Amino acid sequence: MRRTVRSLADGREILYFDADPHAPPRVAEDTRDLPDQAPASEMRRDPLTGEWVAMAAHRQSRTYKPPADLCPLCPSAPGRPSEIPEADYEVAVFENRFPSFARDVEGDTGSVDGAGLIPAAPARGRCEVVCFTSEHRTSFGRLTPGRVRTVVDAWADRTSALSATPGVEQVFCFENRGEEIGVTLHHPHGQIYGYPFVTPKTERMLRVAEDYRAEHGRHVLGDVLTAERATGERVIVDSEHWTAFVPAAARWPVEVHVMPRRQVPDFPALTEAERDDFAVTYLEVLRRLDGLYDRPLPYIAAWYQAPVRTGRDLSWLHLEVFSVLRSPDKLKYLAGSESGMGVWINDVTPEQIAARLHAI
Confidence at 62, pLDDT banded by 50, 70, 90:
low
User: Tens digits of per-residue pLDDT, 301-314?
Assistant: 999 999 999 999 99
Average pLDDT value over all residues in the chain:
95
Q: Is the pLDDT of residue 48 over 90?
A: yes
Residues 140 and 12 occupy one common structural domain: yes
Residues 66 and 171 occupy one common structural domain: yes
Q: What pLDDT, on the 0 to 100 scale, is given for residue 60?
A: 58
Boundary (domain end) residue, out of 165, 197, 229:
197
User: Tens digits of per-residue pLDDT, 257-272?
Assistant: 999 999 999 999 999 9
Residues 245 and 302 occupy one common structural domain: yes
Sign of CA dihedral 153, 154, 156, 161: positive
Q: Is the pLDDT of residue 39 over 90?
A: no
Q: Is the pLDDT of residue 38 over 90?
A: no
Residues 14 and 27 occupy one common structural domain: yes
Residues 184 and 69 occupy one common structural domain: yes
Tell whether 187 is in a known binding site.
yes
Count of domains observed in the chain: 2
User: Is 352 exposed, middle or buried (CB count within 10 Å of its CB: 0-12, 13-18, 19+)?
Assistant: exposed
Q: Of all residues in the chain, what percent carry a pLDDT higher than 90?
A: 89
Residue 143: which domain range? Answer: 2-197
Q: Which residues are catalytic?
A: 189
Confidence at 63, pLDDT banded by 50, 70, 90:
low
Least confident of 19-23, 57-61, 96-100, 101-105: 57-61
Residues 343 and 330 occupy one common structural domain: yes
Boundary (domain end) residue, out of 155, 172, 197:
197
Tell whether 74 is in a known binding site.
yes
Residues 205 and 191 occupy one common structural domain: no
Q: What pLDDT, on the 0 to 100 scale, is given for residue 122?
A: 93
Q: What is the mean pLDDT of residues 142-170?
A: 97
Strand positions, DSSP E, the chain = 2-7, 13-18, 42-45, 52-55, 91-95, 110-111, 119-122, 126-131, 170-177, 189-195, 235-238, 242-245, 254-260, 299-304, 318-323, 325-327, 330-331
Least confident of 15-19, 100-104, 233-237, 356-360: 100-104
Q: Is the pLDDT of residue 75 over 90?
A: yes
Map residue 301 onto helix, strand or coil: strand
Query: Residue 315 is part of a domain; what is its CATH number?
Result: 3.30.428.10
Q: What pLDDT, on the 0 to 100 scale, is given for residue 316?
A: 98
* Number of Cβ within a 10 Å radius of residue 293: 16
Residues 219 and 345 occupy one common structural domain: yes
Residues 261 and 187 occupy one common structural domain: no
Q: What would the DSSP string read from start to end of 191-220?
A: EEEEESS--HHHHHHHHHHHHHHHHHSS-H
Confidence at 37, pLDDT banded by 50, 70, 90:
confident
Residues 181 and 273 occupy one common structural domain: no
Q: What pLDDT, on the 0 to 100 scale, is given for residue 82?
A: 97
Confidence at 66, pLDDT banded by 50, 70, 90:
confident
Q: Is the pLDDT of residue 315 over 70?
A: yes
Boundary (domain end) residue, out of 177, 197, 217:
197
Q: What is the mean pLDDT of residues 217-231?
A: 98
Q: Is the pLDDT of residue 104 over 90?
A: no
Q: What is the mean pLDDT of residues 106-132?
A: 93
User: Tens digits of per-residue pLDDT, 174-202?
Assistant: 999 999 998 989 999 999 999 999 999 99
